[in-house]
Every structure is written in structure tokens, then in C-alpha cells.
Amino acid sequence: MTTGSSRKPRTDALHNRRRVLDSARTIFAERGIEASMTAIARRAGVGVATLYRHFPTKSELLAEVSCGQVAECVSVIDDALADPDPWRGFTTVIEKICVMQATDRGLSAIFLEVLPDPALFEAERIRAENGFAELARRAKEAGRLRPDFVRDDLTLVMMANRGITAATEARTMAACRRLSTYLIQAFEARPGRSPLPPVPRLGPHPDLPTGH
């Protein structure tokens, strides 16, 4: 039945939904996307039945969490595109994504694995990737980014960064910062750089039409 009241969820239902999403994000971040619905309900302080009323499948819940994470990436990239210094914009994105990824294991999955129901955040993911490609184009045009940097190098960065795990979150974060600093210094255009071996097609997503 589609009545007025069923379209306008009550405040506590919205509140529960918010708590479930927060809990899911935390749990996916800590344990990866294999985490169970029961664990998510427990953390949110709601019953499993309530959880399934809001999200009938884990895929739907995962997709909604992913939407939020991709939106954050898009926002980081939009800020960088607004930076008048294209190299600073480019490097800020690499640094911020490495830090986000260090605290959120779920973020790697969005870009590096095939998730269920990717259609829900596909448009935003492509927007993020195209935004990054534009940043790279501008940084090359400004002569700051090496010309042989390609789009798949961002995937390489994210794959390398997900391998970093230390005994504490603070150490992991510090190690990710050091790795991204090294990589950014390697990406910088410099005369006399040795050529790079080719990067193969990485990640689960097909090539985009624009650029490398």
C-alpha cells in the first residue's frame, strides 16, 4: 500500500537507518566487506529484523555505504580541481586517499574489487576517476607530473597502500604517509628520469573512454 505515511518514514525509523549506516561503515572499515549483518545490527544497537527491514540484503547496505564513501572521494577531488595549483591539487588527492584508505578498509573494495550492486554508485565512481584524470592532465600540462604517469597508476597506489598494515592504526597511518610521499616524489617530472615498465590493466573496472 502506498499511503502518505508509508512514504514519510517516522523519525525513529530514520534515526535507526542512520545508526545502521554508521555502524555498517565502521564495521566494514574495521573488518572489510565480509563482516556479518549480525555484527552490524549489534553495533548499531538494533535488532537484526530492524536491520533487514531497512536493508533487505547486505548488498544494498554495502552499496549505500559505498555511495557515501565515493561521494567523499568526489568531494576531495572537486576541492583539488578548484585549487589554482594543479600539482598541489594532484598530490593532495593522493595523500588524502591514502589516509582515507588507511582508516577504512572498505574504501579499497570500491575501487579494487567487484562489489555487488555497483550500479548504485557507478556514476559517482566514474565521476571520481574522470576528475582525477583531469587533475593528472593539468599537472602534466603544468610540467610538474611526469608524462608517463597513467590513470592505472592511481590503482597501483591504492593497491600498494592497502598492503600497509602495522601494529596500531597510528603506525599504519604514518607508514601510509611515508609511502605516499615516496610515490609522489617518484611521480614528479624531472629531467633524466629512467623510463618505466608499462603498467598492466589493473582493477576490476573497464577502461574509461577519456584519457589513458
CB of 136 within 8 A of CB of 149?
A: yes
Binding residue count for its own copies, defined by CB under 8 A: 34
* 74 lies in the site for its own copies, by CB under 8 A: no
Nearer to its own copies, 83 or 152 (CB): 152
Distance (Å, rounded) from C-alpha 161 to C-alpha 155? 10
Counting contacts by CB under 8 A, is residue 193 touching its own copies?
Answer: yes
Q: Which residue's C-alpha cell is 617518484? A: 186
Does position 167 interact with its own copies (CB under 8 A)? The reply is yes
Judged by CB under 8 A, which stretch of 26-34, 114-122, 129-137, 164-172 contacts its own copies?
A: 164-172
* Residues making up the chain, counted from first to last: 212
User: Considering the rule CB under 8 A, would residue 169 count as an interface residue with its own copies?
Assistant: no
Minimum CB separation of residue 51 from its own copies in Å reads: 31
- Closest separation in Å from C-beta 70 to its own copies: 20
Return the range that interacts with its own copies (CB under 8 A); candidates 55-63, 71-79, 127-135, 173-181. Answer: 173-181
Nearest approach, Cβ of residue 5 and its own copies (Å): 49
User: Which CB atom, from 40 or from 102, has the smaller least distance to its own copies?
Assistant: 102
Asked whether position 37 contacts its own copies by CB under 8 A, the answer is: no
Q: Interaction with its own copies in 104-133: which residues (CB under 8 A)?
A: none
In order, the DSSP letters of 143-165 are T-B-TT--THHHHHHHHHHHT--
Candidate ranges 6-14, 30-38, 125-133, 185-193; the one touching its own copies (CB under 8 A): 185-193
Quick one: residue 117, left, alpha or beta (phi over 0 = left, psi -120 to 50 = alpha)? left
Asked whether position 160 contacts its own copies by CB under 8 A, the answer is yes
**What secondary structure, in 3-state letters, does 29-55 show?**
HHHCCCCCHHHHHHHHCCCHHHHHHHC
DSSP element (H, E) containing 98 = helix 86-103
Nearer to its own copies, 26 or 181 (CB): 181
CA angle 37, 14, 22 (to 5 degrees): 45
- Of 122 and 182, the one with the shorter C-beta distance to its own copies is 182
What's the CA dihedral at 42, 47, 51, 53 to 10 degrees? 180
